[in-house]
Structure 1
């Protein structure tokens, strides 16, 4: 399954000293991902190949208990390469991987 969406970059606010940034997968697309049969992974993680601009990497998305959607972590190397900032918009392509 491949999905594309636009999202907003946000800092994880559970801790004031957090340097973790994410974007949310829209709820409707998150529900479609949830329906894909796959083995259980810790924290409900789903393996994906992500593409933002010209930067591609393999990571996991995680369910958010606040919104019910999945969130995609945006590591510093990706943020730097694609000039992503807190509150900025981002276009994401995700390929959901098996296993």
Structure 2
């Protein structure tokens, strides 16, 4: 497992399936890549547990432009009251998916 904290600005992906993300800072991307084969369950996605403003949730990181994106589900964003452009402080644990 790998655990770290980071600060990021929430982005809105306006692709075919709009979604909000917190980009992982590039210095952590190499650490994630190093353990990715041990924890991925396919397609390069990486299971994580994250906490923002005291709200814990499970999701999967998506690889993008030499780093990863942390998806922010609408339910989580509403509980925290964040949207695109807002700064967030994230505590994240990368590890194998729970079955």
Same fold (TM over 0.5): yes
CA contact (8 A) 2:40 2:96 kept: no
* Greater strand fraction, Structure 1 or Structure 2: 2
Uncovered stretches (5+) of structure 1, i.e. residues with no partner = none
Structure 1 outlier segments of 4+, above 6 Å: none
Q: CA offsets per residue over residues 2-46 of structure 1, 9 Å max, x none?
A: 11000010111224x72x100100111011110015154222011
TM-score w.r.t. the length of structure 1 is 0.87
Match of 2:70 in 1: 72
Unpaired segments ≥5 residues, structure 2 = none
Q: Does 1:41 align with 2:41?
A: yes
Partner residue of 1:88 out of 83, 86, 92: 86
**Count of aligned pairs between the two proteins:** 95
Counterpart check, 1:12 vs 2:13: yes
RMSD over aligned CA atoms reads: 1.5
Tell me how far apart the structure 1 counterparts of residues 39 and 5 of structure 2 sit (CA, whole Å): 23
Kindly indicate which of the two structures has a greater share of residues assigned to helix. 2
